[in-house]
Amino acid sequence: MHRDIELTNWTAVCSLDEIVPNTGVCALLNGEQVAVFHVRDSVERVFAIGNVDPNSGVSVLSRGLVGSLGERIVVASPIYKQHFDLFTGECLEAPEHSVPSYRARVQDGKVWVCA
């Protein structure tokens, strides 16, 4: 669990109810596109990773299919279908093509992402 830091490092990107469960949306955070996901399985969680698919260079990860591979919660890129771990941003098929991950949380019904 991440420790809380000053609120100045967190940005509210949308309301939680604006993200359909088990899908993602794109948000702009300090000039960078971030894919923000609302995952509902046994618990409700939010995740944030870079939105640019490093294999194609296209900003599409927020539109990928959310699922799991073993114990890992992932998104499959809609372009080449590589899987990106939503906790770490790691590309499972080619770790050298991983994307950044960001801390995310829900507070007062809003999704907050830490820069």
82 close to 93: Cβ distance less than 8 angstroms: yes
**Structural tokens at position 46:** 């939010």
- Distance, in Å, from the CA atom of 96 to the CA atom of 48, rounded to the nearest integer, reads 19
Residues β-bridged to residue 86: none
Residue 94: its pLDDT value, please? 96
Q: Comparing 8 with 38, which gets the higher pLDDT?
A: 38
CATH architecture of the domain with range 10-114 = 3-layer Sandwich (2.102)
Could you tell me what percentage of the chain is helix, strand and coil, using 3-state DSSP and rounding each to the nearest 5? 10, 50, 40
Query: What number of H helices and E strands is found in the chain?
Result: 0, 12
Residue 95: its pLDDT value, please? 97
pLDDT tens digits for 25-59? Answer: 999 999 999 999 999 988 899 999 999 999 999 99
pTM, rounded to two decimals: 0.91
Judged on CB neighbours under 10 Å (0-12, 13-18, 19+), 35 is buried
pLDDT tens digits for 95-106? Answer: 999 999 999 999
